[in-house]
Structure 1
Amino acid sequence: MEKVNILYKPDVEEFLFHLVFILFKEDYFSYLENAELYKDNIVDFVEHNIKNFPSKKTPITLTNFGSNYIFYNSNSRTTWYIFFEQKG
């Protein structure tokens, strides 16, 4: 299996770091550990599926986020869109 090297922009890393505290502070999760697990599930999805999950071309109005995207359904009411650039 070919190894995929995933690089996160600094602002994405900062967003994920703050996401845990925002979710906890806004009472989406009762325990900080659960908010951390939620964030980890998003990152795990990206790490394990970005190569195999069928990506789509980003609409022109959103290409400043990346030229491709995939989506992750964290639950029945929440969908995360992951924008990225693919090289090589």
Structure 2
Amino acid sequence: MYDEDIKKQLREFVDVLYNKNYFGFKESAYRYVSSLIDNINNTIAFRKKKPAPRYFSKHGENLYYAAFKKNNNTMWYVFFNHENDIYYIRYIGNNHNISQYL
């Protein structure tokens, strides 16, 4: 399950990737984000999870995080709560904007 703010962030991320010329076609940016979501949905249960540093408590209490490598330059970090086999995604960031806090 994704927090509503995360759903919005992921939708906006397609535009950011395209507008900043990370992808030449909007469809390519959409596929990248869709691939990230699929990767999270299909593998989060099998990923090594670590307790999130205190810095991330603004996104929720008792958070864990897992890493998802998309390419040689970008590692995504997914912050979540886990209860009764349900993963509630609270925040998603990457090594370009949050690695200094991990």
Q: TM tier, shorter chain?
A: 0.7 to 0.9
Q: Could you say what the CA RMSD is over the residues aligned between the two structures, in angstroms?
A: 1.0
Structure 2 partner of 1:33 = 27
Gaps of 5+ in 2: 85-102
Q: Verify: 1:81 aligned to 2:77, yes or no.
A: yes
SS class of match (1:29): coil
Cross-structure match for 2:64 = 68
Give distance in 2, aligned partners of 1:69 and 1:26.
27
CA distance in 1, matches of 2:27, 2:65: 28
Answer 1 or 2: which has greater strand percent.
2
Deviations 1:9-49 (A, max 9, x none): 11000000000011001100001111001001110111011
Query: TM-score under structure 1 normalisation?
Result: 0.87
**Matched residues, number:** 82
The residue type paired with residue 53 of structure 2 is P
Letter in 1 for 2:64: N
Ranges in structure 1 where 5+ consecutive residues have no aligned partner: 1-6
What secondary structure, in the 3-state scheme, does the structure 2 residue paired with 1:69 have?
strand
Q: Which has the higher contact order (CA 8 A, sep 6+)?
A: 2
Instruction: Provide the identity percentage.
Output: 27
